[in-house]
């Protein structure tokens, strides 16, 4: 068994999700590589020490640069705010470390391109953590589309709706500050929908977008783990990212796309949904019922046509044989375990599984175009 020693930077929401996935991976998957939770990094020593103990890491550090000098670290896992991704990833690639990076890959396409070039030059394995690709139902939809069950694809519809910042007193955390996050719902949520669309339908040809910021000032504060936050004073700061975004898309293959992402959709906690319509059938999927999908097929007998629910928990469904008997469902955390399995396979075969930094760059081209278009109102071509 080859040990792959991980150095992970960041220890909050994604730090917890990634730590859990590394720990549980050998429990469910028989791979020839096994992740070792070597060192976790954070700037606040007390907090990172506590995280290290709770999440099961062998050691902790307060400076990520020290990891790059160590021979006992094979992977750098980046779960820090977006404005740090490029600096860390490029330095990690130059130090010969494999890299897993949280999404969106970068602040803009220019930065993302530099990151992609750096990992190519260094010959390291790289991946971006678009975990929803690794929901069994999503992988199964890909299989159905590839086998022609939906026929020619005409429409891709995506909604990614949340509501955790609707209270005007919710503080101005880093996710709401452009200099740290690059964008708001666009990069945080719509990047996931774009990743699913590129995976299931194909490349984008052109886009037009619109955005709004409903609450323009908020009290200062910080993320406190998960999607909660704490105030750091009375002072107000300007919200300079989008609270909501919508985009229309033409795909290279002629399909049309409609995308919507919002943090102002009351009642939607993590409403990540897609619908795909083809010449022979349609599919609907919703993350909040992630183990199922709805399939309409024109091949069903007359009188029995309609959307039917498929439980993607049978052994024939991707990844599910690694877990429980049919009908015994999996959850959000398992999407990261499946992703880590692909990352470990990538390391043992020296290939970078999709979604990798190339996908991160192509995704970022689309994010930048939607951002630009929402200011100018124009349609923007995507130069893939
Ligand atoms: C917050 O909006 C967030 O945690 C995103 O950052 C994740 O990418 C998404 O999966 C869930 O919501």
Burial of 234 (0-12, 13-18, 19+ CB in 10 A): exposed
39 in Cβ contact with 58 (< 8 Å): yes
Distance (Å, rounded) from C-alpha 317 to C-alpha 143?
A: 10
Residue 221 half-sphere exposure, CB side, CA atoms within 13 Å?
18
**Does residue 78 sit in helix, strand or coil?**
strand
Residue nearest to atom 8 of ligand 1 (CA): 188
Residue nearest to atom 6 of ligand 1 (CA): 188
Q: What are phi and psi of 336, to 5 degrees?
A: -75, -35
Mutation pick for ligand 1 pocket among 13, 189, 336, 367 (CB with most ligand atoms within 8 Å): 189
Residues contacting residue 129 through CB under 8 Å, at least 6 positions apart:
14, 18, 100, 101, 102, 103, 336, 339
Residue nearest to atom 9 of ligand 1 (CA): 189
Same fold, 2-132 and 134-351+363-376: no
Cis bond leading into 67, ω under 30°? no
Distance (Å, rounded) from C-alpha 75 to C-alpha 248?
A: 37
Distance 270 CA to ligand 1 centre (A): 8
Say what the pLDDT of residue 229 is: 87
- Which atom of ligand 1 is closest in space to residue 103's alpha carbon? 8
Q: At what angle do helices 85-94 and 109-122 cross, to 10 degrees?
A: 10
Distance (Å, rounded) from C-alpha 198 to C-alpha 214?
A: 29
- Ligand 1, CB within 6 Å, residue ranges: 13, 162, 188-189, 192, 227, 270
Distance 7 CA to ligand 1 centre (A): 22
Class of domain 134-351+363-376: alpha beta
Distance 185 CA to ligand 1 centre (A): 9
Distance (Å, rounded) from C-alpha 174 to C-alpha 82?
A: 9
What pTM, to 2 d.p., does this model score? 0.97
Distance (Å, rounded) from C-alpha 127 to C-alpha 140?
A: 21
Distance 274 CA to ligand 1 centre (A): 16
Residue nearest to atom 10 of ligand 1 (CA): 189
C-alpha separations of 351 from 21, 40, 125 in Å: 20, 25, 6
Distance 300 CA to ligand 1 centre (A): 37
CB atoms within 10 A of CB 84: 15
Domain boundaries, the chain: 2-132, 134-351+363-376
171 in Cβ contact with 232 (< 8 Å): yes
Two tokens at 359? 């996908």
Distance 164 CA to ligand 1 centre (A): 11
Residue nearest to atom 11 of ligand 1 (CA): 270
Name the residue among 78, 45, 40 with its Cα closest to residue 60: 40
Distance 200 CA to ligand 1 centre (A): 21
110 in Cβ contact with 85 (< 8 Å): no
- Which atom of ligand 1 is closest in space to residue 188's alpha carbon? 6
Whether ipTM exceeds 0.95: yes
Distance (Å, rounded) from C-alpha 346 to C-alpha 360?
A: 17
Distance 162 CA to ligand 1 centre (A): 9
Distance 280 CA to ligand 1 centre (A): 33
Mutation pick for ligand 1 pocket among 134, 186, 188 (CB with most ligand atoms within 8 Å): 188
Distance 356 CA to ligand 1 centre (A): 18
Handedness of CA 55, 182, 62, 88 (dihedral sign): positive
Say what the pLDDT of residue 224 is: 85
Mutation pick for ligand 1 pocket among 180, 245, 270, 355 (CB with most ligand atoms within 8 Å): 270
- Which atom of ligand 1 is closest in space to residue 13's alpha carbon? 4
**Does residue 192 sit in helix, strand or coil?**
helix
Distance (Å, rounded) from C-alpha 73 to C-alpha 286?
A: 38
Distance (Å, rounded) from C-alpha 185 to C-alpha 264?
A: 10
Average pLDDT by stretches of 10, the chain with 384 residues:
96 96 98 97 97 98 98 98 98 98 98 98 98 98 98 98 96 96 98 98 98 97 86 90 98 98 98 98 98 98 97 98 98 98 98 98 98 98 92
Distance (Å, rounded) from C-alpha 136 to C-alpha 153?
A: 21
- Which atom of ligand 1 is closest in space to residue 14's alpha carbon? 4
Handedness of CA 187, 188, 193, 197 (dihedral sign): positive
**CATH superfamily assigned to domain 2-132:** NAD(P)-binding Rossmann-like Domain (3.40.50.720)
Distance 192 CA to ligand 1 centre (A): 9
CA 338, 133, 15 angle in degrees (round to 5)? Answer: 60
Only one residue has tokens 């669309």, namely 197
Name the residue among 45, 64, 48, 47 with its Cα closest to residue 6: 64
Say what the pLDDT of residue 246 is: 98
Two tokens at 347? 């390391």
């Amino acid at each position: 068994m080859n040990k792959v020693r991980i150095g992970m930077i960041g220890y909050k929401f994604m730090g917890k999700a990634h730590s859990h996935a590394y720990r549980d991976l050998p429990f469910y998957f028989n791979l020839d590589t096994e992740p070792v939770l070597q060192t976790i990094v954070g700037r606040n020593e007390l907090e990172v020490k506590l995280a290290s103990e709770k999440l099961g890491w062998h050691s902790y550090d307060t400076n990520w640069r020290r990891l790059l000098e160590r021979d006992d670290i094979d992977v750098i896992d980046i779960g820090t705010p977006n404005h740090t991704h490029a600096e860390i990833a490029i330095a990690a690639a130059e130090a010969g470390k494999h890299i897993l990076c949280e999404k969106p890959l970068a602040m803009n396409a220019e930065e993302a391109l530099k990151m992609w070039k750096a990992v190519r030059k260094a010959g390291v394995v790289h991946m971006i953590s678009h975990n929803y690709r690794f929901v069994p139902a999503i992988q199964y939809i890909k299989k159905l589309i590839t086998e022609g069950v939906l026929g020619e694809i005409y429409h891709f519809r995506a909604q990614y709706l949340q509501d955790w910042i609707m209270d005007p007193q919710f503080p101005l955390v880093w996710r709401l500050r452009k200099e740290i996050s690059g964008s708001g719902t666009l990069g945080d949520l719509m990047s996931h929908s774009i990743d699913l669309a590129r995976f299931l339908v194909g490349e984008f040809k052109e886009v037009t977008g619109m955005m709004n910021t409903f609450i323009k000032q908020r009290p200062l504060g910080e993320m406190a783990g998960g999607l909660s936050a704490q105030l750091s004073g009375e002072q107000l700061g300007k919200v300079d990212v989008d609270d909501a975004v919508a985009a229309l898309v033409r795909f290279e293959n002629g399909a049309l796309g409609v995308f919507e992402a919002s943090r102002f959709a009351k009642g939607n906690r993590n409403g990540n949904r897609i619908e795909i319509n083809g010449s022979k059938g349609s599919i609907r999927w919703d993350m909040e019922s992630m183990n199922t999908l709805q399939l309409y097929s024109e091949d069903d007998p007359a009188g029995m046509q309609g959307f039917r629910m498929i439980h993607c928990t049978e052994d024939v469904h991707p990844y599910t044989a690694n877990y429980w008997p049919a009908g015994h469902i999996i959850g959000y955390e398992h999407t990261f375990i499946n992703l880590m399995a692909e990352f470990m396979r990538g390391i043992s075969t020296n290939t970078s599984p999709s979604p990798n930094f190339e996908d991160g760059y192509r995704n970022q081209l689309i994010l930048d175009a939607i951002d630009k278009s929402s200011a100018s109102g124009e349609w923007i071509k995507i130069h893939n």
